Amino acid sequence: MSTQSGCPLHVLIIDDQKTMRSIIKGMLRTIGITSITAKPSGEEALDYLIDGNSRFPDVIISDLHMENMDGIEFCNTVRRNKELKNKGVPILILTGDTEPLLHEVSKQVGALTVLTKPITAEALKVQIEEAVGYSFA
C-alpha cells in the first residue's frame, strides 16, 4: 500500500530527548513515512490522542524511560483509557535498556514489542510493517 507521496501511515513518536525524536523522525522519513507527530512526554502524547481533532496514529513509538509518565505507564494508560477511539493502536517501545524484566512488563501492559537501541531504519520498518500487518515498500 504505497502512494506517490510516500507511505500513508501516521506515526506518533514519544521521547523526552529532542535528539532522539529527531533521529527517529529521520529514520521514518528514510523508510517513506512522512506523516509524523512527536511529543516530548507521555502526558502530552495522551492529551494528543484524546483530542478528537488530532489525527490518530497508526503506530506509536515510545521511549521507555521518561520523567513523570514512562513508556510502561503510557502503554497501560492507553490500553485502559475509555476516551480513546483506538485503544489497540500498536505501541512499539524503543529503549537503550536491555533489562529483560522491563521488556516483559512493557509487553504485559500492552506494548506490541520492545526494540533495543541502536536500531536501523530497515529494522524499524520491519517492525512497523509487522505492527500494521502489511508491507508499505
- Conformational region of residue 133, where left means phi above 0, alpha means psi within -120 to 50, and beta covers everything else: left
Residue 13's pLDDT is what? Answer: 98
pLDDT digits (tens, 9 = 90+) for 63-86: 999 999 999 999 999 999 988 878
Hey, what amino acid is at 12? L
Q: Is pLDDT above 50 for 3?
A: no
Q: Is pLDDT above 80 for 2?
A: no
Q: Is pLDDT above 90 for 54?
A: no
**Cell triple for residue 102?**
522491563
Residue 137's pLDDT is what? Answer: 64
Residues 19, 43 contacting (CB under 8 angstroms): no
pLDDT digits (tens, 9 = 90+) for 86-125: 889 999 999 999 999 999 999 999 999 999 999 999 999 9
Residue 136's pLDDT is what? Answer: 78
Q: Is pLDDT above 80 for 4?
A: no
- The domain limits of the chain are 7-132
- What is the architecture of the domain spanning 7-132? 3-Layer(aba) Sandwich (3.40)
Hey, what amino acid is at 8? P
User: Stretch 24-36: mean pLDDT, rounded?
Assistant: 96
Q: Is pLDDT above 60 for 5?
A: no
